[in-house]
Structure 1
Amino acid sequence: MKLIAHTASNTEIVCALGLGHTLIGVDADSDYPPAVVEHLPKLGRDLAFDAEAVAALQPDLVLTSLTVPGHERVVADLRATGIPVYVADPVSLSDIYADIRAIAEHLDAAQAGESLIASMQAAMPPCAGDPAVRIGIEWWPKPAIVATGRSWINDVLQLAGASNPWAQRAEKSAPITPEEAIAAAPDAMVISWCGVNEANYRVDKVLNRPGWEAVPAVAAQRVYPITEAHLGRPGPRLVEGYRRLREIIEHIRAEDPQSVPRNSS
């Protein structure tokens, strides 16, 4: 099997299945695990994936996704090559597990897929009690774009013992105004900016954002960085994002126990 992976999450799923040796090319944003990906041909960035370069490598299967706005064009270009394509489009943890299962089956590794799913579930046990702490996940700073209702983020937050203040919105993600941030009243904000190295995350961009002074997370200076690799990629390393969220939630509860529990929305 000769495999090409477009999107970091698909690359990481293949490698977590123990099948990194089947990869013959990846997108330029696939950076993990480095021992596998650093020597592979890079076929363009996430939204500029080169379908002609993919076809030249003659893979048996291309793994792609619709997780980022603009991927529709990439998927169409890949399908036009006539090469078999698997398209992931998860909006929940269950969807992510289904994609892992499907990818594993495509690679004749069904048992490895079930083992990976079981290990992820074991690493993200549900936190007891009502998810009363409200945590917003910010994908981009200007304009402020947050995870909304059609996102696996809601499931990860719920397991960790929190809730997404924008979970009732229908989109996968959406820009928000200062007024919407105040009305949602997140207890904390997590910055997980897509395509930006965590070392370059700037907490002060949120703390000093005009109009956000009355947002509880800003007033209490509860703004935390978590790399997008651990929250924004629908794959095995979500367990690391879950662990970081648990730490934040426990810190909030220890710092201000009177703030919870309360009715969550």
Structure 2
Amino acid sequence: MKFLPILFLLFAGLSACSPAAESAAADSEPGTSDTHRIVSLSGTLTELLYDLDFGDQLVGVDVTSTYPSAVNDVPKLGHVSQLNVEGLLALHPTLVFVAEEAKDKPALKTLADAGVTVVPVTMYPTLDNAARAATVLARHLSIDEQKIAEYTAGIEKDKRELEEKLAANEGERPRVLFIYARGARQLMVAGTDTEAAAIIELAGGENAIQSFSDFKPLTPEALVEAAPEFILMFTSGLASLDGKAGLANIPGISQTPAFQHDQIIAMDGHYLLGFGPRAAQAAGELAGKLHNRISK
């Protein structure tokens, strides 16, 4: 499954490392203390840490960490691929959580060599990704097993509710094309084996591109092949084109069934493709837009 670390970098923008507001805390072994100085280098893991009541122990986050709003008060460290190691070490972290696919970045090796505990967490494009990640965090944080069980049960409840809604539209799978945009000169479409394809399928749709995997540049030929009934974008991506009017200027877009029937869907990027605690809610909201009979 292809995730979007580079695209999220473009989406969020680069940010310089902010100075630490707190003094160094004593180092502690994973799982042996209730207090840590945590750095999260994943928006999904940041949201999960807040959900598990560890938000007050965050001393630094990456640029993909945009939710909840309280995270705006935490120093930003840039993107995981361009970390300022000295600035990060100045925060005196005791734990650094990062998505598995980024674990081999040179900056993270430097942190580990400096004695910082770096914990890679495997991400899955599934509705229960947050629950699976929570079990990994629990190996390093003092999280009560009952809390994990209740958290997992809540996610399972959201999944069942989504499945019940989709059951009413069994057999109806509208063709959906996901377009990543950062201005008119940076347009890409999602093929198979992408998190965009995964969320579309979880919401009861069919990814409109089946002839290739990963992301490729948008071409008029791809639009003809896709013939999408819906076009799905990040809210920020559509805004970078000046809205639907700007989207119409992209060659081939105005000839698609999606554009002709004004079926353009824009959603927050992290919410839509983060596969965090709100993944089932995001899939349900998308399903509501794809199937008129499904309430959000």
Same fold (TM over 0.5): yes
Which residue does 1:31 correspond to in 2?
Answer: 66
Q: Does structure 1 residue 87 correspond to structure 2 residue 120?
A: yes
Which residue does 2:142 correspond to in 1?
Answer: 108
Q: Which amino acid aligns with 1:189?
A: I
- Indicate the percent of aligned positions where both proteins have the same amino acid: 23
Report which structure shows greater RCO (CA 8 Å, sep ≥6): 2
Deviations 1:20-74 (A, max 9, x none): 1221211244232223x2332222245533222222222222112367xxx577x
Q: Does structure 1 residue 226 correspond to structure 2 residue 267?
A: yes
Q: Which whole-Å CA distance do the structure 2 matches of 1:136 and 1:54 have between them? A: 39
Alignment of 1:102-251 (within 5 A): 102-109=136-143, 110-124=145-159, 125-126=162-163, 127-128=166-167, 129-141=170-182, 142-166=185-209, 169-171=212-214, 173-192=215-234, 196=236, 202-251=243-292
TM-score, structure 1 as length reference: 0.78
Deviating above 4 A after TM superposition, structure 1's stretches of 4 or more consecutive aligned residues are 94-97, 197-201
Q: Does structure 1 residue 5 correspond to structure 2 residue 40?
A: yes
Structure 1 pair 235–186 and aligned structure 2 pair: CA distance change class (3 A): same
TM-score, structure 2 as length reference: 0.71
Q: Which whole-Å CA distance do the structure 2 matches of 1:188 and 1:252 have between them? A: 16
Quick check: 184-193 or 233-242, which moved more? 233-242
Structure 1 pair 241–130 and aligned structure 2 pair: CA distance change class (3 A): same
Q: Contact between 1:182 and 1:212, CA under 8 Å: does it hold in 2?
A: no
Q: Contact between 2:254 and 2:260, CA under 8 Å: does it hold in 1?
A: yes
Offset at residue 91 of structure 1 (A) = 4.6
Gaps of 5+ in 1: 254-265
SS in 2 for 1:242: helix
Offset at residue 102 of structure 1 (A) = 1.4
Q: Which whole-Å CA distance do the structure 2 matches of 1:198 and 1:237 have between them? A: 22
Which residue does 2:49 correspond to in 1?
Answer: 14
Please tell me whether Structure 1 or Structure 2 has the larger radius of gyration of its CA atoms. 2
Q: Contact between 2:194 and 2:213, CA under 8 Å: does it hold in 1?
A: no
Q: Which whole-Å CA distance do the structure 1 matches of 2:55 and 2:274 have between them? A: 17
Which residue does 2:21 correspond to in 1?
Answer: none
Q: CA RMSD in A?
A: 2.9
Q: Contact between 2:42 and 2:64, CA under 8 Å: does it hold in 1?
A: yes
Quick check: 211-220 or 4-13, which moved more? 211-220
Q: How many residues align?
A: 245
Which residue does 1:263 correspond to in 2?
Answer: none
Which residue does 2:75 correspond to in 1?
Answer: 41
Offset at residue 15 of structure 1 (A) = 0.7
Q: Which whole-Å CA distance do the structure 2 matches of 1:182 and 1:54 have between them? A: 47
Q: Which whole-Å CA distance do the structure 2 matches of 1:18 and 1:197 have between them? A: 32
Which residue does 2:8 correspond to in 1?
Answer: none
Gaps of 5+ in 2: 1-35
Q: Does structure 1 residue 78 correspond to structure 2 residue 111?
A: no
Structure 1 pair 249–182 and aligned structure 2 pair: CA distance change class (3 A): same
